[in-house]
Structure 1
Amino acid sequence: MQKKSHYGVPLERSDYLALEAHRHSCPPERFARWLEGFGRDRRLAIDLFSGAGGLSLGLQRAGWTLAAAVDHDERALETHRANFPGMSLNMDLGDPAERDRLEEILEPARGKIDLVAGGPPCQPFSRAGRSKIRSLIEEHGRDPHDRRKELWKAYLDVIERLQPRAVLMENVPDMGLSDDFVVLRVIEQRLEALGYAAELRLVDAWRYGVPQHRKRLILLARRDVECFDWPDALPEDQITTLRDAISDLPPLHAVATERVGARELRYSTPPEMQSDFAADMRKRTQKEKVWDHMTRRVRKDDWKIFNDMTSSSLYSDVDASLRRYKADQFTDKYKKLDWDDLSRTITAHIAKDGYWYIHPDQNRTLTVREAARIQTFPDRFRFAGTRSDAFRQIGNAVPPLLGRAAATALLPVKDQPANSGVQSRWSTVRKELTSWATNQRDNDSWHQLPKLSPLHAAVVAILSRTRIPSDRLGKLLESIRHESVLTDDVFKQLLADSPTASAAERTRRLSGLVDVPDAWAVGRSGELPSLLDLKPAETRLYHLLIGDDVLWTGQSALRVAARLNGSFSDRTNRMSDGRVDLVRLVGAGEDASLRMAALRLIGNTVCKVREPLCTACPLARFCEGRAGVAGEDLFTSAQDS
């Protein structure tokens, strides 16, 4: 059906693709028989929040058989049901009663489910998602408590009920980066309490053959052995380019008055003209056919814009007479892809707007099949529903090649107990760190550890950038150790004891709250940073020292974490990989802030940039980088407090 629109081309809803169920698909009432038949003696997995099945396909390629997939999107489940064996269940896992029902359905497989995988819906955690939801709340009154953000609890609940040997969880990096990894630290600690060893990793999907920029958070856990051997990652000069991914597909002409592509087209590229990637994508599909190679019609003015663009063009470079959007607000509204580079990240937004994905030399946006290829879905994989349904399912999916790489790291280890439970190395490190930090509260380092009074925390935060040695700062704080309010006498004492002119100058920033008792009350501790106009780093340190759960990312703590992990994250990717290294040490719970502050203290006193005092470090026996740094100047980042 077509209708005219202000969009400038006829708008038509594509045909609906109905798919038949996989021949080894089964309904819940036949699951017990399925287990004794097709599922017998297979390594079984279930996929929660499965979508169309990107992660499921990765698991399958790594050696698992899908026993069940669960989602609340009927179009995605129709796709999953057509492409995989086992059950495809429509359930809202946010409902505890539905989780009870899932447990009942899976009862025949109790003890046989080897792996639980999934990616709890991530929209509220992504940058685009948060801004969109904030807009909906402000303009349309949407409930600000988005239940999707809590579905990780449902995911963890299912794991606790089934206790598989292995767990795989995938999400966008912002699930961790936006909230100091609080959710992931809680998940990791609860898994450890169940006998799992866990690994959190930030992964660039292109490192595993995915032809796009796509960074993902992967949480792996297993109960048989603490071993996570990922496949070898590709070096930077061996990326799978867009040309490798889609150049073998039939060219399409984009004219506003014609449909672009079709459900079924002839495929004629000879094998010798295919890249290795394309040859892999063509396996087990009909030799002379390609399906779903179709996209939207193109406006005449867009055709002209696309024709004049290069891969480096910005929207502001478009002829002003052709622009429909403000160039200062939509700097990257249009993006022409580069044959010899990675694609930009394929997201669900492609279902509504393909301007971010303009073909390198055909004046149109990407087709369904091209988007699927870039996500590493093979050509035999079909997507149920309309063209928009397919785009949305593809954009929401985990790239199967990334899923395969992560799942490979969870394969059983020969001659190891199947599901006996393990003692995680990192849980042991955290116990040692907690014990050491607790003891430090009784010596001269008390002022560097939570839980300080608001007064003491504010003084330390304000003086944190003065480079005053910890022992001298301790002497300054000792003179007011038993004070909790900044009286005029206390203020004068601090000024008199300031060891440097810079310290005295910074201390004067407290003057506005002298003899204001209410400002220093514990119940108002959260207001102090704004009352004192603390800088962002000072504010985070203040909150850490009063006992708030803050992932403090100063260089000293990052250095300790990097060395213990045997990495260089403190020098290369501080705010991403560096924070992941910190997470393993900090953990969750009431002592998280104590461990975090202790890492900062260790970095400032013994784990120094040059000639670290490893013999005085409470974590030396766990340090993977100890041999490399002792007596050698390998870590050249500037030390800070």
Structure 2
Amino acid sequence: MPDVISRKLDRLTQGERPRVLDLFAGCGGLSLGFHRAGFVIGAAVELDPLAAASHAQNFHRDIEPEAFVRAARARDITVTEPDELTDELGLGPCDTAFDVLVGGPPCQAYARVGRAKLREVAEHPEAFKVDPRANLYLRYIDYVRRTKPLAILMENVPDILNFGGHNVVQEIAETLSGLGYEARYTLINSAFHGVPQFRDRVFLLAYHRRLGQRVRFPKPTHWADLPSGYAGTRAVAFKLIDMFSADAFVPEDVGTPDLPQAVSASEAIGDLPPITLHLEGKLRRGARRFTELQPYSDASDLSPYARSMRSWPGFESIEGVYDHVIRCLPRDTMIFRAMKHGDEYPAAHATAVRLFEAEVERRRRRGELLSARGLDELKRRMVPPYPVGTFPNRWWKLRPDQPSRTLMAHIGKDTYSHIHYDSDQGRTISVREAARLQSFPDGFVFCGTMNPAFRQIGNAVPPLMANRLASVILRTLKAAIRRNVAEQMKVAAE
């Protein structure tokens, strides 16, 4: 009887679509990119209930109600065994249910893993349960061992290249090699691939050696000059990269200046309707629910990017969006309006102080005398209290002609890191604008209210970046299929 890898190749050779298991799936950034490339999203494992609900709502919305409930269930990967997952979802044995394994394990305790521990978990799948040094990477590797995918994609932050003196992703590549996979990894900035955001991430690709295929990464489609801060971060991350200790590393292809310029913030979100409720005094504090349609503005001059976000296959949006909502930040509206594009918190604080001093002078000229207590109260209402030296990057006003800075999960707590470039509106970005900057199409639904939606977006892999990687994987699988057919014909001829 053919082994599992051969049976999976034979299945694809018969024209079946490759099936994806998304671990640490979040709301589904990776899944969406693979879905667009033609993969079947077979299952997802996600701990956060609202993110798990979002994933199911977008990828399993048409299945039977009872099956949908199972698909939308939040799952803790540390206690969810692969065979339990596939049994519950009716997918059969775990080693035959999926062709591709993807995911971005959270980055706890990098420095405490090491090669020996990774090898141990590869041989003893329950070691992570009893060893306090273990982290979720070990569980990811266990899922590889148990599900036997043809292809693997792993995503993480640049720190994984140099965390506590460990190049963790190199150690993972070596462990995957012991499991029968050819693995390579690289650093990619999503701005080079059509995402309107400077976002550095490490991506590892691996194929089972039975496929007989080399690992390749997508070529850039856009050009941008990376901001200076990214160069320093990269220098630290690359410290452990050399020809001897990082033989699985592939230098990033950043393209050439003759490519189209990177998608800018204004191209990404400039077509969405202005928000003025806060300027009219009609915006109140509290949870924002996505119940009111915000109709699109005139579509005559849509950028290609905005058009694509409205017309993403399977996630089209015709009339408008429901999640174009913002936080209520009444103290800061005038500060946001006065800030220059690219200003950070020190400049914002200085702007607030100037506005405060101007207001004091205005009242003085009007004959209004403020007590010390009154001055303190006025300053509290006008000037943010955070120390200038402690949070230099806490605030940032988008540049309309450049991609956004990296969206982080922290955006679920506040959105000061992404202040809208339109000074007339004087606000931070909306949920839908964050989704656009992360390349989620307008028809993609986020479950929950505003804060959880922001967090889901910040945690996600940009779907456009995921799609670029998925397309490379699909081409590789097709090459493996052609090779498989040739071998079968050769055997038949003999």
Q: Call closer, same or farther: CA 1:103–1:382 in 2, change over 3 Å.
A: closer
Superposition deviation, residue 178 in structure 1: 1.6
- Partner of residue 201, structure 2: 216
- Post-superposition Cα deviations, 1:167-205, rounded to whole Å, max 9, x if no partner, equal 011111112222444432232122112221111111101
Asked if the contact 2:217–2:472 (Cα under 8 Å) also holds between the matched residues in 1, the reply is: yes
Rg comparison, structure with higher value: 1
Residue among 306, 324, 330 paired with 1:278 = 306
Which amino acid is 2:470 matched to?
A
Q: CA RMSD in A?
A: 2.7
Paired residues for 1:80-479 under 5 Å: 80-85=55-60, 87-95=71-79, 98-99=81-82, 101-102=84-85, 104-105=87-88, 106-108=91-93, 110-122=95-107, 150-223=135-208, 224-233=211-220, 234-236=222-224, 238-253=261-276, 254-255=278-279, 257-259=281-283, 263-283=291-311, 284-299=315-330, 301-317=331-347, 318=350, 319-320=352-353, 321=356, 322-361=383-422, 362-411=425-474, 412-414=477-479, 415-417=482-484
Equivalent pair of 1:291/1:379 in contact (CA under 8 Å)? no
**What do the CA deviations read for 1:383-417 (whole angstroms, capped 9, x no partner)?**
00111110111111111011111222212133123
The one-character-per-residue Cα deviations of 1:343-380 (angstroms, maximum 9, x if unpaired) are: 11111111111111110012111100000111110000
Q: Is the 8 A contact 2:104 2:155 kept in 1?
A: yes
Residue 93 of structure 1, CA deviation:
1.4
After alignment, is 56-65 or 405-414 more displaced?
405-414
Q: TM-score, normalised by structure 1?
A: 0.53
Can you give the 5+ residue segments of structure 1 that lack an aligned partner in the other structure?
1-35, 127-144, 421-641
Distance 1:88 1:167, change over 3 A: farther
Name the aligned partner's letter for residue 394 of structure 1.
Answer: I
* 1:513-543, Cα deviation, whole Å (9 max, x unpaired): xxxxxxxxxxxxxxxxxxxxxxxxxxxxxxx
State the TM-score, normalized to the length of structure 2.
0.68
Aligned length: 361
Partner residue in 1 for 2:115: none
Task: Sort the Cα spacing of 1:153 and 1:402 in 2 relative to 1 into closer, same or farther, 3 A.
Answer: same
- How far apart in 2 are the matches of 1:146 and 1:175? 21
Shift in CA distance, 211/315, structure 1 to aligned 2, threshold 3 Å: same
Q: Which amino acid aligns with 1:102?
A: L
Quote the residue 2:227 is aligned against.
none
In 1, are the aligned partners of 2:95 and 2:146 still within 8 Å (CA)?
Answer: no
Kindly, what percent of the aligned residue pairs are identical? 39
Q: Cα distance, 1:43 vs. partner? A: 1.6
Q: Output one character per residue of 1:273-328: Cα deviation in whole Å (capped at 9) or x when no partner.
A: 111111110014342221200011122x3111111101232333323342422222
Partner in structure 1 of residue 361 of structure 2: none
**DSSP 3-state at the match of 1:324:** coil
Q: Which has the higher contact order (CA 8 A, sep 6+)?
A: 2
**Whole-angstrom distance in 1 between the partners of 2:94 and 2:17:** 12
Cα deviations across residues 126-155 of structure 1 (Å, max 9, x unaligned)? 9xxxxxxxxxxxxxxxxxx99797001001
Cα 1:393/1:147, change in 2 over 3 Å: farther
**Structure 2: 5+ residue runs without aligned partners?**
1-10, 64-70, 112-129, 225-259, 357-382, 488-494
CA distance in 2, matches of 1:160, 1:99: 10
Three-state SS of the structure 2 residue aligned to 1:90 is coil
- State the match for 1:446 in structure 2: none
For residues 313 and 156 of structure 1, what CA distance do their matches in structure 2 show? Answer: 43
Question: What one-letter code is carried by the residue in structure 1 that aligns with 2:261?
Answer: Q
